[in-house]
Amino acid sequence: MVGGIAGLWGALIEGPRIGRFGGSGRAVALRGHSASLVVLGTFLLWFGWYGFNPGSFAKILVPYPTNAGGAYYGQWSAIGRTAVTTTLSGCTAALTTLFGKRVLSGHWNVTDVCNGLLGGLAAITASCSVVEPWAAVICGFVASLVLMGCNKLAEKFKFDDPLEAAQLHGGGGGGRLLAAHLVQVVVIVGWVSATMGPLFFILHKLKLLRISAEDELAGMDLTRHGGFAYAYHDQGEEDGSDQNGGIRLSRVEPTATTRQIV
């Protein structure tokens, strides 16, 4: 919830990206420029999750006493269960998001799948060592539905969080869990709001949180990184014909002193 509330305040204070919501109020998807890096980052997080969830036990060779007197079960059993439930919840959420977004939008999108996977991992973390594997599947399934529902709700209220941090980290938790941790939820919301809200507000006023409108429209690949995410064909070949099935694609050419859109 810390990440979810922090992302909520950052997105509320800074406002939507340019062009995120059209003149008619329709949400326009602004995709990242490197799906490969999104997938790589997701796999790195997924790999690290095994160090976080099973690794939180700290010790593995700790036997559990049983009525039979034999040490057939131990810390290793709980660690194995934790790794399995972590995997099942994340994979279930990823697959649910994959097919759910296909039904809703009519096309496949790897970025949505990556966020769905992370939503499933976040949802199982609190109870990863105690739930049954079948329950982890349900947890991942529900987490995906919650994430997609929160994203739809965010579009309705014109809330733009480029990382979906508020929806992903702040949307989980069942009724009994929420009731049992009501005080903790209130404390987390209050603490993060009191610390991150003023921080984002100060950064906003100092214009340190967002690039200029000119740079945002031109694209950060050119203005901040000095390169291009995609290689486009030149416009107007010698025969004057357009490329890519009649769709004209623009190239942004950097110069030493000015930025010029050709």
Q: Higher-confidence residue: 64 or 169?
A: 64
- Asked whether residue 233 carries a pLDDT value surpassing 50, the answer given is no
- Asked whether residue 232 carries a pLDDT value surpassing 70, the answer given is no
Please, are residues 98 and 144 in contact by the beta-carbon 8 Å criterion? no
Q: Is 27 exposed, middle or buried (0-12, 13-18, 19+ CB in 10 A)?
A: middle
Mean pLDDT of 73-91: 90
Mean pLDDT of 202-208: 89
Which of 111-115, 204-208, 227-231, 242-246 is predicted with the least confidence, judged by mean pLDDT?
Answer: 242-246
Look at residue 201 in the predicted model and tell me its pLDDT. Answer: 92
Which of 108-122, 126-140, 192-206, 232-246 is predicted with the least confidence, judged by mean pLDDT?
Answer: 232-246
Which of 40-44, 108-112, 131-135, 197-201 is predicted with the least confidence, judged by mean pLDDT?
Answer: 108-112
Alpha carbon 144 to chain centroid, angstroms: 12
Look at residue 162 in the predicted model and tell me its pLDDT. Answer: 66
Which of these, 216, 229, 232, 222, lies nearest to 255 by C-alpha position?
222
Share of the chain above pLDDT 90, in %: 23
Q: Is 190 helix (H, G, I), strand (E, B) or coil?
A: helix
- Asked whether residue 104 carries a pLDDT value surpassing 80, the answer given is yes
Look at residue 126 in the predicted model and tell me its pLDDT. Answer: 83
pTM over 0.85: no
Look at residue 170 in the predicted model and tell me its pLDDT. Answer: 61
Count CA atoms within 13 Å of residue 36 on its CB side: 2
- Asked whether residue 193 carries a pLDDT value surpassing 80, the answer given is yes
Mean pLDDT of 158-167: 67
